Structure 1
Amino acid sequence: MIPTPGSSTDKLTGLLTRKAFSDLFDEALEIHKAGDVPLSLAFIDIDHFMQINETYGHAAGDEVLVTLASVLRECGGSNAAVCRYGGDEFMILLPDTEREQAFLLIEKLRSDMTQRAFDFKNDQEQLDGISISAGIASAPIDGRLKSELFRKVDQALYRAKATGRGKVRLAYDERMVPKTSHYTQTQLERLSNLAVERQAGEAELLREALDDLIAKYGVNEIER
């Protein structure tokens, strides 16, 4: 889905605007519902983009945005729709793509961008790669409504940034909260209150806690 220049495209990157992307997303959802084909959505954000602007200048920041936009087009292929969602945020719609496929695609993109050097004009300094964070939500496993998928992909991106940035995180089923004998009644009540206070799902908070635990002790330590 290559956009044609005009009001539906972002002037800097040439990608779809948020409005044009939203319209295409509606069409893709209708196709998904009619044929029961998978569909994935990725929300991508450049980590510490403000520091790039401050260190190398806004022209260099624009070059980073344009480069990432080009890479996203190549990454998604001809059937994908890519938009500049705002500032340094991008969305990519991947029709007929399972969640696991989308994860591998975006994870490769994330890894490649860490090694992509930027040699800015009129600047002796070189930027040796950029870090990006991303969230992924897929239909039907994460929902079938646009509002639901947008909310879940936004939460997944938030978790990617909250757990150290430079990561790709999947959405998950908020109803799958393991309320078993492993948790005391007091813990469950505190979890419920915290979810209300943070305006977040209980599963989201548990997932964040698990991510923090893994980051603190390392996977090898937990597996022992």
Structure 2
Amino acid sequence: MDNQLDCAPGGYFSISESGFVQSVNRTFLNMLGIQSADELIGRHIETVMSPTNKIFFHTYFYPHIQLYQRVDEMYFSFRAADKQSVPVLVNGIKQERCGEAVIDCVALLMRKRLEYEKDTLRSKRQLEELYQTTREVNNRLEALHKEYENKQQELLEMNRSLETLASTDPLTGLHNRRFFEDCLRGELLASIDNNQPLSLLIVDIDHFKNINDTYGHPVGDFVLIELARLLRETAGPLSICARFGGEEFVVLLPAIDSEGACATAEQIRSVIENTPLGTHRVTISVGVETSRSGSTEQSLLERADLALYASKSNGRNRVSHAEELDKA
């Protein structure tokens, strides 16, 4: 490993497809308090994880890297040599090298979070010392106690913000694409286990580019926000709505068959067509797919997208189910 990568400001490690460490840089070893790379190379990466993080790694990291060949900004914690937790953001990419599949990862320390934790622990230690002193320092104790509570609250709020940012589209407030893809994976497995259907809607705003070009992006953003609100209100409490990208939205309908999915899609289409968004009226085209034997996440998305294309090709402002394409 060259010196530049070895001393890079981010931790680097490479693992085999089965999780065994092949190479690490000095930055990553320093993060974990490990003296020599020989202590880690050849061992499984899970040896530097707590039991909880091993479960998280199996549940999210492995499936995601296998399915999408990469992982972006996954919040995670390693366990250092002194048993302390080391919170990081992990980015990973799966690629082939010398004829073998390898997973290259970069780990960045969550510095702000660590600073808040250190401040909180420092305040707590000061409180413990001051509680043993005389009544003359009671006022100071109360002030520090308040500071400690505030820092704890700030830490909790930061954690909540990180979780929200990781799963929410900042413009519309709907779930983002990453969260939707995780839900799609879980709901498809549940539908198979429970022998129930799973339906997927892909919703696209008709002629949205004309709105942006004519009235500007602020108006376009307003239309997206209001349409997201109508989508959430109309799709039903058990649905999972997300912004898929640009003017495209997706809706997951667990335990809803093709007939019910088309009815829901038609209701959404009708509500949006008949509801003014400020001074504007928009229409949508919808593609629908319902799980069948052998359906995968990719096939559901691809067939719903084909159905959406059919709606667009047949005049827009309509609902098409992928089954109709099969019959045609």
TM-score w.r.t. structure 1 length?
0.70
**2: CA distance, partners of 1:108 / 1:75:** 7
Show the 5 A alignment for 1:46-61.
46-61=205-220
Aligned-residue offset at 1:49: 0.3
Determine the structure 2 residue equivalent to 1:190: none
1:81 counterpart (227, 236, 240): 240
Q: What is the CA deviation profile of residues 131-166 of structure 1, one whole-angstrom value per residue up to 9, with x for unaligned ones?
A: 10000000127x521111111001000110011111
Highest relative contact order (Cα 8 Å, sep 6+), 1 or 2?
A: 1
Determine the structure 1 residue equivalent to 2:295: 144
Indicate conservation of the 8 Å contact 1:157/1:169, yes or no: yes
**2: CA distance, partners of 1:151 / 1:117:** 31
> What stretches of structure 2 of length at least 5 have no aligned partner?
1-162
Answer yes or no: is 1:170 the counterpart of 2:321: yes
Determine the structure 2 residue equivalent to 1:215: none
Aligned-residue offset at 1:173: 7.7
Answer yes or no: is 1:130 the counterpart of 2:294: no
Determine the structure 1 residue equivalent to 2:173: 14
Determine the structure 2 residue equivalent to 1:213: none
Determine the structure 2 residue equivalent to 1:116: 275
State the SS of the aligned residue for 1:117. Answer: coil
**1: CA distance, partners of 2:251 / 2:165:** 19
Indicate conservation of the 8 Å contact 1:5/1:14, yes or no: no
Determine the structure 2 residue equivalent to 1:159: 310
State the SS of the aligned residue for 2:298. Answer: helix
**2: CA distance, partners of 1:79 / 1:118:** 25
Aligned-residue offset at 1:117: 1.1
Determine the structure 2 residue equivalent to 1:64: 223
State the SS of the aligned residue for 2:268. Answer: helix
State the SS of the aligned residue for 1:133. Answer: strand
Greater Cα radius of gyration, structure 1 or 2: 2
Aligned-residue offset at 1:22: 0.5
Determine the structure 1 residue equivalent to 2:150: none
User: Given the superposition, is the C-alpha separation of residues 20 and 55 from structure 1 closer, same or farther in structure 2, using an over 3 Å criterion?
Assistant: same
Determine the structure 1 residue equivalent to 2:6: none
Give the structure with the higher percent strand: 2
Q: What is the CA deviation profile of residues 172-202 of structure 1, one whole-angstrom value per residue up to 9, with x for unaligned ones?
A: 287x6xxxxxxxxxxxxxxxxxxxxxxxxxx
Indicate conservation of the 8 Å contact 2:199/2:258, yes or no: yes
Indicate conservation of the 8 Å contact 2:234/2:267, yes or no: no
Aligned-residue offset at 1:105: 1.0
Length, aligned pairs only: 166
Indicate conservation of the 8 Å contact 1:84/1:91, yes or no: yes
Determine the structure 2 residue equivalent to 1:196: none
Spell out structure 1 runs of 4+ moving beyond 3 A: none
Indicate conservation of the 8 Å contact 2:212/2:220, yes or no: yes
**2: CA distance, partners of 1:83 / 1:34:** 24
Code of the residue aligned with 2:182 in structure 1: it is: D
> What stretches of structure 1 of length at least 5 have no aligned partner?
120-125, 177-202, 208-224
State the SS of the aligned residue for 2:277. Answer: strand
Code of the residue aligned with 2:215 in structure 1: it is: Y
Code of the residue aligned with 1:149 in structure 2: it is: L
**2: CA distance, partners of 1:66 / 1:133:** 17
